Amino acid sequence: MVQGEKSIFSKIIAHEISAKIIAETDDLIVIEDIAPKAEIHYLIIPKKEIRDVQSFHQGDFVLAGKMFEMAQQLSRTIPGAEQFRLVINSGEKVGQKVFHLHMHFLAGKMFFKDVV
Ligand code: AMP
């Protein structure tokens, strides 16, 4: 992504491109991952443009808490998502491809071997 260019998630947040939206609050949007790695694979995305965990400012930790709160809410409301896995790739070397912070919410059958 070229510096200053909008990420794909910013375009989704702005409703400039479509996505399957699961939930939306003032701070977050939850969408279905386009290439699911589990039966249930959502992305919990802060609307604020934050590149990665390394870029967090003090105030962003409240937002991080809201992302966890959303994960709990999804687990309580989505059938089959009572137990789940959360993943944040923070940096290119560990597999981050979209440089707009997001938390993967994975539940049900996983389509990959355990990494941890
Ligand atoms: P990461 O590797 O952690 O940066 O994850 C990026 C995720 O975004 C991948 O799992 C992609 O499948 C997903 N993704 C990319 N483009 C879209 C899109 N337009 N709608 C939904 N998910 C997407």
Contact (CB, 8 A) for 45 and 31: yes
Q: How confident is the model at residue 32 (pLDDT cuts 50, 70, 90)?
A: very high
Query: Residue 13 phi/psi, 5° resolution?
Result: -60, -40
Q: Check pLDDT > 90 for residue 3.
A: no
Report the half-sphere exposure of 32 (CA within 13 A, side-chain side).
Answer: 12
Q: Which fold has domain 8-109?
A: HIT family, subunit A (3.30.428)
Please check the confidence at residue 4 and state whether its pLDDT lies above 80.
no
- CA-closest residue to ligand 1 atom 20: 34
Question: Is the CB of 2 inside a 6 Å radius of any atom of ligand 1?
Answer: no
What are the backbone dihedrals phi and psi of residue 107, each rounded to the nearest 5 degrees, phi first? -150, 165
pLDDT in tens, 57-100: 999 999 999 999 999 999 999 999 999 999 999 999 999 999 99
- Report pTM: 0.96
